[in-house]
Structure 1
């Protein structure tokens, strides 16, 4: 009993330390050090890819740090195709760490960032260097996403738009489907599982589970659009693809729950 209590409070303290470390890296590395090395990363596509590689390396170290101090375990299944250039990664979103976990596994990852983050003094320079996509007017956003995919970037999209509410059904937005149709890109579905659940939208960082949690990535097969769309109009095709994705993730998580 005492061992469990000590382990709980150790993980609580280690979780607080991890959050502080994340903020410190954001300020010290991205705010102070990165502007000094950015001029040596090249220009254009080369600079974006090198900057994204640095981000992947930092996030991988961060995941390994949290695993090393006993907060979590993580697993990746079927990840041999995750770094195929031009992948449109579509994932569910159970926890706060999903973006960090995904980027830690992807060499040339890009994503859509909110204006508030893009205007953050510490993050503005690296976000521009990595070429992350601003959440802008819809048509411009679609074109920008399609351009990144055609250049070989791997775009991460969470169709829910926010973290999953445990116990409630999926409600996907149509953005992922619209981007796939605009870019004529196959989608790579990745199912993220967090057991036991933690860092959901309803939980504070200090509301940790009673035991160490495990994050798991299950990389599925590429989803081709043509069998789903079947010459439908753009609006109907978008709805069909969105429903297909919802059903895919419902089935994947239901299957896991029975196994």
Structure 2
């Protein structure tokens, strides 16, 4: 009980700090945006986001608030080719956990967030992809992959429904395997395991879950693009269901 009483205010301090550094970073990105080329801006923007979130997660772990094991993703940084990073989606933290380990990460974000004061300028500098037009989104995703980016996609399309349980999964939505086919980029699966409801669907960011909050990210099977992309999507979903049923957070 005493640990929870101490860590609850610390969680709010961390969230406030995250908001402040996000604002400062986006102000810097706004200044850098017209000064850097697309290639240089993307590299600087993505690395800035990665190392900023890595520092945030390190502070959360050092305090005892969280326990995160995501080091397995570091092996992907030595792979020069473009990769689609496909992960299940139990919480709002998933993209931030992946991005913290992979400085070449490219995310697809809601078009409404492009003008957000805490996210917009940094996302534009990093050349993240807005989802306002499906055709343009796919074209931008393919170009990024051909340029060696790590495109993070959640085939569920949204966070896993609570009714599915901590090792459950929403049905996969089409798109990911079509992008893989067009870009001729492999799909590297990442299995996110957690028993915590924190930041899951319907869980407010300010409500603390039982601590420590545990996340384990591990590399799964890599799938090559397939002309029968609908069949590949089903194989991908079946694989995730099997891995989540078999695994457990440590």
Fold in common (TM above 0.5): yes
Give the CA deviation at 1:97. 1.0
Whole-angstrom distance in 1 between the partners of 2:32 and 2:134: 34
Whole-angstrom distance in 2 between the partners of 1:206 and 1:66: 14
Structure 1 residues 139 and 34, CA gap change in structure 2 (3 angstroms): closer
2: CA distance, partners of 1:257 / 1:75: 13
Aligned partners of 1:248, 1:82: CA distance in 2, in Å? 20
Partner of 1:34: 29
Partner of 1:87: 83
1:1-259 equivalences in 2 (<5 Å)? 5-31=1-27, 33-38=28-33, 42-76=36-70, 78-83=72-77, 84=79, 85-168=81-164, 169-226=169-226, 229=227, 237-257=228-248
- Whole-angstrom distance in 2 between the partners of 1:68 and 1:137: 41
Deviation at 1:188, TM superposition (A): 0.3
Kept after mapping to 1: 8 A contact 2:90/2:200: yes
Contact in 1 for aligned 2:73/2:102 (Cα 8 Å): no
Q: Which runs of 4+ in 1 moved over 3 A?
A: 33-40
Q: Which runs of 5+ in 2 are unaligned?
A: none
> Matched residues in 1 for 2:97 and 2:103: separation?
12
Contact 1:15 1:205 in 2 (8 A): no
- Deviation at residue 25 of structure 1 after TM alignment: 1.7
1:129, CA displacement in angstroms? 1.0
CA root-mean-square deviation: 2.1
Distance 1:127 1:258 in 2: 31
With normalisation by structure 2, the TM-score equals: 0.89
> Which whole-Å CA distance do the structure 1 matches of 2:225 and 2:162 have between them?
29
C-alpha separation between the residues in 1 aligned to 2:82 and 2:120? 25
**Structure 2: distance between partners of 1:43 and 1:225:** 31
Unpaired segments of 5 or more residues in structure 1? 230-236
- On the 8 A contact 1:77/1:219 being kept in 2, the answer is no
- Mapped partners of 2:65, 2:74: distance in 1: 26
Q: Do the aligned partners of residues 29 and 77 (structure 1) sit closer, same or farther apart at CA in structure 2, a change above 3 Å counting?
A: closer
Partner of 1:242, secondary structure, is helix
Return closer, same or farther for 1:15/1:122 CA change in 2, 3 Å cut-off: closer
